[in-house]
Amino acid sequence: AIEQTFSIIKPDAVARNLIGTINARLEAAGFQIVAMKLIQMSRSDAENFYGEHQGKPFFGPLVEYMTSGPIVVQVLQAENAVLKYREILGATNPENAAAGTIRHDLAESMSRNSAHGSDSLSSAAREIGCFFEQSEIFSK
């Protein structure tokens, strides 16, 4: 089925001028970018977005990092978008990511791993709602 998934181009990738590189990979893979903006998350945005990780040892550093600079938030649409994006992203830790994936090719570390993609359709709906109004999503 045609699905929408939520994507973040993280601070490390924005800082290294990789927005275009990542968008080109997304479009080449068949995703339509149906919503997109450059923003900087507030502390409360990040704590809410990463709520499921609250209490984990990396939660504090994750919030610090994700609020440290501008990011690109986007909604990607494609057939089977959730799984398809996870596949081209590669494993969370770039050391474990398959050759040719975004994280293998571009990421710096487990934290500075360049991009985020929703892990399920229900996460995608929740995550999209954290940053976009329905009127900002251009899907036919």
31 is annotated as contributing to ligand binding: no
Whole-angstrom distance, CA of residue 119 vs CA of residue 115: 13
25 is annotated as contributing to ligand binding: no
Position with the least CB separation from ligand CMP: 116
CA neighbor of 117 nearest in space, from 98, 105, 103, 104: 103
Query: Which residues make up the interface to ligand CMP (CB under 6 A)?
Result: 58, 62, 92, 110-111, 113, 116
43 is annotated as contributing to ligand binding: no
CB atoms within 10 A of CB 129: 11
Give the catalytic positions in this structure: 116
By CB neighbour count within 10 A (0-12 exposed, 13-18 middle, 19+ buried), where does 123 fall?
middle
Considering the complex, what minimum distance in angstroms separates the CB of residue 50 from ligand CMP?
A: 6
Considering the complex, what minimum distance in angstroms separates the CB of residue 140 from ligand CMP?
A: 28
Whole-angstrom distance, CA of residue 8 vs CA of residue 107: 13
Closer to ligand CMP by Cβ: residue 2 or 98: 98
Bind-site residues for ATP? 10, 58, 86, 92, 103, 113
Bind-site residues? 10, 58, 86, 92, 103, 113
